[in-house]
Amino acid sequence: MKKKAAEEDDPLDREIDFSKARRNPHFLAAVGPKYVRVIDQDLVEFFPDNESVNAALRSIAEAASRLPKLKKVSARRVSAPKKTSS
């Protein structure tokens, strides 16, 4: 009986409050962004695990590879005002 009471009455349960926890800003620097991608909370229900994320990205990559290749245009050329002769 004492063992159950000791497990239920853990003093750390009252001392540690995770309600204001936040992500470690140095996590990606330590692990490396090559191996970790963070998705937004609203997407978690659609992508519950790594396999679902990979399947979705593979289908997008396959569809993108079937599109015709577009000619690269620099941002400067697109945003430059056109000269008009008046």
- Rounded Cα distance between 4 and 21, Å, is 29
Cα(67)–Cα(56) distance, integer angstroms? 17
pTM given for the model: 0.44
What does pLDDT average to over the chain?
A: 78
> In which band, very low, low, confident or very high, does the pLDDT at 8 lie, cut at 50, 70 and 90?
low
Q: Which of 57, 62, 34, 35 is nearest to 46 (CA)?
A: 57
Q: State the distance between the two ends of the chain, measured CA to CA, in whole angstroms.
A: 96
Residues 24 and 72: their CA atoms lie apart, in Å, by 38
How confident is residue 62, by pLDDT bands cut at 50, 70 and 90?
very high
pLDDT of residue 58: 95
Confidence of residue 80 (pLDDT cuts 50, 70, 90): low
Q: How far is CA 67 from the centre of its chain?
A: 26
